[in-house]
Structure 1
């Protein structure tokens, strides 16, 4: 009797012990499975969502799937969240170029400046002050001509910059040298953008369309960028010519935009019909001085744009042009009412263009067919020798003393006296600006 009781008790103890081992093994396997599920969830959700999934061990598998779908939906909603307003200011800087971008993303604000106006003025510096700009995230200089890089030194010294982009082509002008020195002293990051590169500055996307390489052709190899803000796209090509436009067309990159700034101030050296067709803008804008000595914008370009049904604006006729967009729709505001036609580029105030009285007086003598003009501020050594009385040595002296306010400044070059200066002006191919 006692033996049977002891045997039964012994069997009960063994069975209970076996049952505990079995429970422990199941709990261990369950914990391993939950751990694996939690790690998988973290790899597809934010850190915060992963922690919540780990703490809530009683969620069934369908509930975890729902959480994952919710996370994907949140990411999609954030991507499609309404953008803050962007303002693009095509600043009235006379026969030069400067465009300011201003926008924000939640608590962060951004400013980008594309080209910096003419070296003979401080209108860009003053305009930035009027817009309460305190810092520039990015400055892009399309090429080293003095009407595009003109106020870079003053802008950098006044406002600072996070990064500066240039084509990599150089100039011997004092304006270019001062600009480079200012950028180096500012310790801003420096970059030479090339075809195919892509960047994001907050919600702004930037695609580099040109140049792919450089060879010293400053105008042709202008930095050309496509700015995308939501669904609205802007294109800037500096002074890139039709050959450069052809290279962009053959690159395979998407050139379709809403707003196009016409190349080279509306010159017929740019804006080929094929390029205008490929970019397919709704709005075209050019920057030029009133009664431009180069005839900008050229009649054939104006006619091409108007015949294509594209809205045309110019700083000579409309003053500063401001485009405001939420990334879907855009509005255009101007500070002048003007008309543009092949016969006239309109009448507007030329204040801020940087031309002094002497330059204005000499414009008549310097005006000529732009195809024959040799710009003494940007021409190469070989091009300068096309001017009467200029051989290789004197052409180098001309380059070393740049920039010039007018053709009359050539009298400061050794060997150019009143008689030779009169010959140069009578020949009529030497000019400044553009």
Structure 2
């Protein structure tokens, strides 16, 4: 009986417990809705926190990107530790370009002179070069890649860089044939690429992409050796120079090789200011038909305060660097002599200006006096009429002929090949058919029709003086 009572009480206790729990669940139904509301509010708070976290993440990403850009700029501006010495040879190769960089066992040749000479090959042999680690042809003009076929035959060349712009000249075709024949590595570099050869660092600053303008697409490189910087731009013009300003964090350099042999198409004021060189090198031939270097460029260089050296005056120019400072090693010891017009512009003394004007006027008068004396002997009656007729004609010719143009009656083969549609194929015919009364007479050359003549005239390189 006692057991039965205990069992009954146990069952009642269990039922009472179950009932109370059900009751509790039911009574909390309303608060459950409240709790759901609380949960929603909490989720909103979490969402706000998530958004704040995302903003923090975005700011972190931005700061990382900024730090990357800063580190990239630091990489391009912070000098690398180097050992040994660098030698840079601006080789005198006439109206052409060739520059040799030497550090330790590394040899880099930037451009290879003219196609109709062997002076680059001979110079490399004279300074003991046996192997060239990198051979750069800034662009396919024959005065820049001219001796590349000879160099590829004569020396072991590990790699060749060319811009990717094509040419129909035999020099260009021979260069490609030799690259294939000798199994040399080939690359077409683009702005933003960086390389290291030994202790020499190369930052490619042009071209970003090809425009199929041979000069504007020139391979341009910033060479860094410790704190020493050298800028090489081939024949790149002011448009390409402007693009270079955005490629590298800092273009400041010790040496600038003036673009396009000192032509007015290059070395803009903004580019010169960005590079701010201590030395400027002009590679050009003496008394060249292009008039290089042009007066306005030399004026700009003189005003910048840079020391100017020109291969046609100073011969081969050699610099050395220990990574901290640059030293002029070898050159013909004479001051740079700027064009006469440049000297008169920069002379501060009016007396100097007047003396230079008077000396030039006397030079102009002397031939006139000689003509007058001859005319007195030959035709006394016409001595007053002839000078009046001749002077205006001479002045008109000077106005019509552009500065630095290529005289098709007197220019050399190499100079004539710079004219569009001439090249190596037609240059010999052009010379054989001399003289020409005007550029229009070029139609006498086989293969030059109206369309090609129009291109030649529009290019404004060819002229008859």
Q: Is the 8 A contact 2:95 2:284 kept in 1?
A: yes
3-state SS, counterpart of residue 177 of structure 1: helix
Query: 1:181-238 CA deviation, whole Å, 9 max, x = no partner?
Result: 1111111110000010000001110000000111211001100000000110000000
Q: Give 1:266-285 correspondences, 5 Å limit.
A: 266-285=262-281
Structure 1 distance, partners of 2:113, 2:424, is 22
TM-score by length of 2: 0.61
3-state SS, counterpart of residue 257 of structure 1: coil
Q: Give 1:115-154 correspondences, 5 Å limit.
A: 115-154=111-150
Structure 2 distance, partners of 1:216, 1:168, is 9
Task: Provide the residue aligned with 1:340 in structure 2.
Answer: 337
Q: Give 1:3-42 correspondences, 5 Å limit.
A: none
Task: Provide the residue aligned with 1:221 in structure 2.
Answer: 217
Q: Is the 8 A contact 1:312 1:340 kept in 2?
A: no
Structure having the larger proportion of residues in helix: 2
Query: 1:280-338 CA deviation, whole Å, 9 max, x = no partner?
Result: 11111110001121111111111111111111111011000000111111211333233
Task: Provide the residue aligned with 2:462 in structure 1.
Answer: 430
Task: Provide the residue aligned with 1:89 in structure 2.
Answer: 89
RMSD, aligned α-carbons:
3.1
Aligned residues: 307
- Does residue 208 of structure 1 match 2:213? no
Q: Which runs of 5+ in 2 are unaligned?
A: 1-78, 344-399, 409-414, 435-441
Query: 1:362-396 CA deviation, whole Å, 9 max, x = no partner?
Result: xxxxx95346559652444xxxxxxxxxxxxxx5x
Task: Provide the residue aligned with 1:377 in structure 2.
Answer: 417
3-state SS, counterpart of residue 250 of structure 1: coil
Alpha-carbon distance, 1:177 to partner:
0.8
**1:94–1:405: structure 2 CA closer, same or farther, 3 Å change rule?**
farther
Alpha-carbon distance, 1:91 to partner:
0.1
**1:409–1:164: structure 2 CA closer, same or farther, 3 Å change rule?**
farther
Q: Is the 8 A contact 1:303 1:342 kept in 2?
A: no
Alpha-carbon distance, 1:160 to partner:
2.1
Structure 2 distance, partners of 1:153, 1:182, is 6
- Does residue 401 of structure 1 match 2:425? yes
Task: Provide the residue aligned with 2:170 in structure 1.
Answer: 174
3-state SS, counterpart of residue 401 of structure 1: helix
Larger Rg: 2
- Does residue 261 of structure 1 match 2:293? no
Structure 1 distance, partners of 2:128, 2:223, is 23
Q: Is the 8 A contact 2:159 2:186 kept in 1?
A: yes
- Does residue 191 of structure 1 match 2:231? no
Structure 2 distance, partners of 1:157, 1:345, is 44
**1:143–1:405: structure 2 CA closer, same or farther, 3 Å change rule?**
farther
Structure 2 distance, partners of 1:100, 1:345, is 30
Structure 1 distance, partners of 2:176, 2:110, is 16
